[in-house]
Amino acid sequence: MSSRKTATIRDVAEAAGVSIATVSKFINRQQSFSASVEEKLRSAIAELGYSQNPAARSMVTGKTTAIGLAVMDIANPHYANVMKGANRVALANDYNLLVVDLEEKGTGVREMLEPLALRTDGLIVSSRIPADVVDWLAGLNKPVVFLGQPERQGVVCVGMDSVEVASLLAGYLVQQGFTRIGYVGYGRAAWNAERLRGLHDVLDAAGVELMEFDAEAPTSEAGEQVAARVLLRPDRPQAVIGCNDLVAIGFMTEARSLGFKIPQDVAVAGIDNIPTSRYVSPSLTTVDVFSEATGETVMTRIISMIGDEASRKLSPPPSLKPLLVVRESAKRQDRIAATEV
């Protein structure tokens, strides 16, 4: 069953008494065969445990049947879930997934992406990528889809509209009656400016003050670190929005150990709706960006772009809509009721 060397198409051809061309056509189901040949082929393949060498195949076809996925931080549940969705549709379409975790690095990104580009038929990359790398990707002559908002014209993109995401949250907070709101952003992120715009759109119109802060990183640790700076000042915000759930959760934890009650003393909200946000106390109000569905969508999209030159420039399919998830962490003090999600 398992010989020393792996069987090649030639071994199969010999065992079945046909030519290698016939074997090739058979395994690629490119035509029909006489019953006798078909049977001999089938058993020869089983006997030898033959399977196609993808490298050899890809040499002649020029296709790799693999897709690259580059994420900023695989430990962020948002990205892990994007990957889950992407993995699912890749597998269903007989594609393999090559992944690289950029680990939030802003430098050496192209070097990390280059091998991916060489080994795949298309790339899915997080949008927080240096401009020169985006240029390089664009000239790659290979489908590339960005995750999140586009910073540039002419690039294909899948993800929520950051302006809309932020507006949604701002709208809720205004409706709750808060009049001074803090936003803990992450300046290096591509979406940060859009988030701010979405926030201002709503808050300015409502006459609500917006205080801007910046986290060191889009992580819980950074959320913890920023909390004192935000809260230990006379004009502290009544409600604080974290640029993602991780930041919000870190912020909440540190706020509590600083002696603040949430949401009574300070309301907190996040963005993403990572699974954890349901399990912290109080449960975190957030905006669902449908990470897993995003992964499925982006993978579906890139697969359709491969081999379908026409769809490469088309605008994305009806894009995903963010959904406000109201939980306990951002209810106005005087309105708190016993409604737990």
Partner DNA sequence: ATGAAAGCGCTAACAC
Partner DNA sequence: GTGTTAGCGCTTTCAT
Question: Among 338, 168, 122, 211, which Cα is nearest to 160's?
Answer: 168
Instruction: Provide the residue count of the chain.
Output: 341
- Identify the residue whose tokens are 């974290």: 242
Taking the complex as a whole, the smallest distance from the CB of residue 56 to a copy of itself amounts, in Å, to 6
Regarding 187 and contact with a copy of itself (CB under 8 A), the answer is no
Rounded Cα–Cα distance for residues 217 and 91 (Å): 33
The pair of three-digit structure tokens given for residue 293, joined into one six-digit string: 């569905």
Helix (H, G, I), strand (E, B) or coil at 233: coil
Neighbouring residues of 10: CB distance < 8 A, sequence distance ≥ 6: 20
Q: What is d(CA 56, CA 259) in angstroms, rounded to the nearest whole number?
A: 64
How far, in Å, CA of 294 to CA of 201, rounded? Answer: 25
How many positions of this chain bind DNA (CB under 7 A)?
30
User: By C-beta, is 118 or 205 nearer to DNA?
Assistant: 118
Closest approach of Cβ 277 to a copy of itself, in Å?
Answer: 10
User: Taking CB within 5 to 8 Å according to partner kind, which of DNA, a copy of itself, none is near residue 188?
Assistant: none
Per CB under 7 A, 43 contacts DNA: no
Name which position in 4, 5, 313, 335 contacts DNA (CB under 7 A): 5
Residues 277-296 contacting a copy of itself, CB under 8 A: 278-281
- The answer for residues whose C-beta is within 8 angstroms of residue 280's C-beta and 6 or more apart is 249, 252, 329
34 part of the interface to DNA, by CB under 7 A: yes
The minimum distance between CB 80 and a copy of itself, in angstroms, equals 5
Q: In DSSP terms, which residues pair with 123 in a beta bridge?
A: 68, 144
Q: Which two tokens stand for residue 224?
A: 């913890």
DSSP3 helix / strand / coil % (the chain, rounded to 5): 45, 15, 40
* Cβ burial 254-285 (10 Å sphere, 16+ → b, else e): bbbeeebebbeebbbbbbbbbeebeebebbbb
259 binds a copy of itself (CB under 8 A): no
**Least distance in Å: CB of 169 to a copy of itself?**
20
Residues ≥6 apart with Cβ < 8 Å to 240: 181, 182, 183, 184, 230, 248, 251, 266, 267, 268, 269
Question: Minimal distance in Å, beta carbon 196 to a copy of itself?
Answer: 26
Task: Return the residue of 4, 29, 44, 56 that touches DNA, per CB under 7 A.
Answer: 56
Asked if 45 touches DNA (CB under 7 A), the answer is: no
Among the listed ranges 15-23, 121-129, 130-138, 139-147, the one in contact with DNA (CB under 7 A) is 15-23
Q: Is 120 in the site for DNA (CB under 7 A)?
A: no
Task: In angstroms, give the least distance from the CB of 30 to DNA.
Answer: 7
Mask of contacts with a copy of itself, 69-108, x by CB under 8 A?
----xxx-x--xx-xx--xx--x--x-xxxxxx-x-----
To which H or E segment does residue 255 belong? helix 245-257
Binding site for DNA (CB under 7 A): 5-6, 8-10, 17-22, 24-25, 27-28, 30-34, 36-37, 50, 52-53, 56-57, 59-61
Binding site for a copy of itself (CB under 8 A): 1-2, 4, 6, 51-56, 58-59, 64, 66, 73-75, 77, 80-81, 83-84, 87-88, 91, 94, 96-101, 103, 112, 114-116, 118-119, 139-141, 220, 249-250, 252-253, 256-257, 275-276, 278-281, 340
